[in-house]
Amino acid sequence: MVKRVNLGVFLPVINDGWIISKTSPKFMPSFALNRDICESARRIGFSYVFAMGKWRGFGGEIDFWKYQLESMTLMTGLAAVVPDLHMIASISPALIHPAVFAKMAATMDDVAGGRIGINIVSAGNRDEYAQMGLFPENFEQYRYDYTEEWLTIVKRLWSEDSVTFDGTYFTLDDCQSFPHPRRGGLPVVCATSSERGFAFIAAHCTDGFFGGTTVEAKKARSLRIKEVAAERGRDVRTHTLISLVLGDTDEEAQRIHRHYLDGADQEAIANIYNLRAREKTEASLAILEERKQEDARLFYGGLPVIGGPETVAALIEELAVDGGLDGIMFIFPDFLIGLARFNDLVMPLLRQRGFDFGTPADLGLPG
């Protein structure tokens, strides 16, 4: 039986990647670096790349994420020079009017030849937006209602000749947006781990992206998103993120991890968790504090997976088969070296386990 899962790269649009350490690989984000990463990923059989939206760093000794590239601009440029790969760019509805975005996305779709998808960032990101005077008052309380109205307008502008709309947050009068995307819309992704978010994905998205601090949590969330979508008569693809430290053996991977842990930037880690705590509910603060005390605190996002090739291949199979995941994205300490080692050490094992990575698959149809 052939097993399928799309492999993706969570592109480094920020400096130094996702490991909050003085001893992890250091680099600046650039178009050239991300182009080289995309070309490498395409050559070895990956299907897609994803670029997050980020507007402010976290300080510390290493100036963690002080430098950021803008997601939509970067992905449009990459799509123009890298064939085959699907590109998922991130946008925050709080930062841009839906009619302006609808035109930008249709232009991106034209540049990319239909290979662009959009990740909707519904989260508040208070400090990032407040520095620009763009954080709406009490936004956390109504962000999904706002995002639903915003996305409804975008989809109508992608498919209708004229849109007149009188909503809670937006008003449009005979608004036109031509040309439309070539398929009448773009794949739409949203990242969330809440039931309210799952309902949003089920109603409005082609793909759901979620976190999880354990493998079991990731499998459960993937199955739950599909269940909620099925209740609405829809199919939704699911994706998650892995922060991979790959060694020739499990022991070597642990040694590399200890090296990074020895250089942990405690100031940047404290800044990150203090900011996150401000935006958490009381129920989730205990989980946040628990993670802060664990070695996982070294990684900003993505389940840390530290192991040799067999461990990594087995994990991918478990997520794809038992969790029904359609896509798994990877972060590497050094992306170019990490992709090359993944190709040499893990891809052969996945093929032995019955996985097929012959042709990049579509990430979903307009929803």
- Tell whether the model's pLDDT for residue 119 goes beyond 50: yes
Please compute the mean of the pLDDT values over residues 140-169 and round it to a whole number: 96
The predicted structure's pLDDT at residue 353: 96
Measure the CA–CA gap between 167 and 9, rounded to whole angstroms: 37
Percent of the chain with pLDDT strictly greater than 90: 80
Write the burial class of residue 190 (CB in 10 Å: 0-12 exposed, 13-18 middle, 19+ buried).
buried
- For residue 242, being part of any structural domain is answered with yes
Q: What is the pLDDT of residue 136?
A: 84
Least confident of 114-128, 187-201, 219-233, 239-253: 114-128
* Model confidence at 120: pLDDT above 50: yes
| Count of domains forming the chain | 1
Res. 39: pLDDT tops 80: yes
pLDDT digits (tens, 9 = 90+) for 253-311: 999 999 999 999 999 999 988 876 555 555 455 555 555 555 668 999 889 999 999 99
Q: What is the pLDDT of residue 282?
A: 54
Residue 361 has pLDDT above 80, yes or no: no
Bridge partners for 191 per DSSP: 209
Helix spans in the chain (H): 31-44, 71-81, 98-112, 126-130, 139-159, 195-204, 215-231, 250-262, 266-278, 282-293, 309-322, 335-345, 347-352
Does the pLDDT value for residue 56 go beyond 70? yes
Q: What is the per-residue pLDDT for 126?
A: 82
Average pLDDT of the residues in 212-223? 94
Average the pLDDT over each of 148-157, 204-213, 311-320 and give the range with the smallest value.
204-213
Reported as a pLDDT band with limits 50, 70 and 90, residue 91 is very high
Structural domain contains residue 365: no
Count CB-CB contacts under 10 A for residue 135. Answer: 18
Inside any domain, residue 362: no
pLDDT band at 367; cut points 50, 70, 90: very low
pLDDT at 193 (0 to 100):
86
* Lowest-pLDDT choice from 32-41, 120-129, 145-154, 210-219: 120-129
81 closest CA partner among 121, 31, 143, 28: 31
In a domain, 91, yes or no: yes
Residue 174: what pLDDT? Answer: 98
Q: What is the pTM of this model?
A: 0.93
Q: Which pLDDT value is given to residue 365?
A: 44
pLDDT category of residue 125 using cuts at 50, 70 and 90:
confident
Maximum C-alpha span of the chain: 63
Whether residue 367 lies inside any domain: the answer is no
Mean pLDDT value across the chain: 92
Q: What's the rounded Cα separation, in Å, for the pair 342 and 335?
A: 10
| Whether the predicted pLDDT of 229 surpasses 70 | yes
Q: Mean of the pLDDT values across residues 152-158?
A: 98
CATH number at residue 133: 3.20.20.30
Model pLDDT, residue 342: 98
Both tokens of 315, joined, read 């994990």
As a whole number, mean pLDDT of residues 90-102 equals 96
* Structural domain boundaries enclosing 222: 6-352
Give the per-residue pLDDT at 278.
Answer: 57
Domain-located, residue 131:
yes
Is residue 361 included in any domain, yes or no?
no
Residue 155 lies in a domain: yes
